[in-house]
Amino acid sequence: MTQYNILLAGVGGQGLMLLSQVMGDACTKSGVKVVVGAQHGLAQRSGSISAHVRIGDAYSPLIPYGTADLIIAMEATEALRYIEFLKQGGTVIMNSRIMHPPLETAPIVKNRQELRMYVTLEQVKEQLSKVVGNVISIDAEKVAVEVGNPRTENVVLLGVASALIGFPVKIEPLKESVRRVVPERAVEANLKAFDLGRKAAEG
């Protein structure tokens, strides 16, 4: 059974569902079998969300624990939140950005004398390094600002992923799907985000 499993993780509002649709659409147009299990949940922003992209021969819409080839995390702590899905020696591509949820800020403010600290990128990386073969961390927010559209962080990370050896979807079909799936007014910025992400990975 040949499979390539990608777990997408992020924070509601970062365009994770759109990313899963771009990947699924690109597979379908290239004649590659794909199933995506999306966690739509409710409409609110800023919660933890995920999507399971299963390319090749898979039945279940959910990646079995310990079998994802790749985690693409749109926010650094979200990579760690879904780490049980990654296989031994798998790859993590993550945005270096951390969005600290109100639940993390609340106790810091309530116990201000204790001078508690937020979780840091270094802590996340240290935890990941205990089980992950390859951690690629990129400041996608910075690249997105460079692109001129801060809402393209998701596609920057897709560009990074497209440069991985063994990534099962080709560049052209991915770009073609960006054109089809992304709202027209944002297509150009997203294609630029894809290229810059790819360039950063090849850098």
C-beta of 179 vs 202, nearer to another protein: 179
C-beta of 38 vs 164, nearer to another protein: 38
> Which runs of E-coded beta strand occur in 45-152?
48-56, 68-73, 86-95, 134-138
C-beta of 115 vs 165, nearer to another protein: 115
Taking the complex as a whole, the smallest distance from the CB of residue 193 to another protein amounts, in Å, to 14
Q: In angstroms, rounded to a whole number, what is the distance separating the alpha carbons of residues 27 and 54? A: 10
Q: In angstroms, rounded to a whole number, what is the distance separating the alpha carbons of residues 169 and 146? A: 26
C-beta of 41 vs 133, nearer to another protein: 41
The binding site for another protein (CB under 8 A) comprises 1, 11-13, 20-21, 24-25, 27-29, 33-48, 58-62, 64-67, 77-78, 80-81, 83-84, 99-106, 108-110, 112, 115, 117-119, 123-124, 127-128, 130-131, 141, 150-151, 180-181
Q: Tell me the DSSP string of 132-167.
A: -SEEEEE-HHHHHHHHT-GGGHHHHHHHHHHTSTT-
Taking the complex as a whole, the smallest distance from the CB of residue 202 to another protein amounts, in Å, to 26
Nearest partner of 119 among 79, 88, 85, judged by Cα: 79
Taking the complex as a whole, the smallest distance from the CB of residue 134 to another protein amounts, in Å, to 17
Q: In angstroms, rounded to a whole number, what is the distance separating the alpha carbons of residues 50 and 69? A: 15
| C-alpha pair distances (Å), 69 with each of 4, 102, 143, 186 | 6, 31, 25, 30
C-beta of 52 vs 198, nearer to another protein: 52
Taking the complex as a whole, the smallest distance from the CB of residue 15 to another protein amounts, in Å, to 11
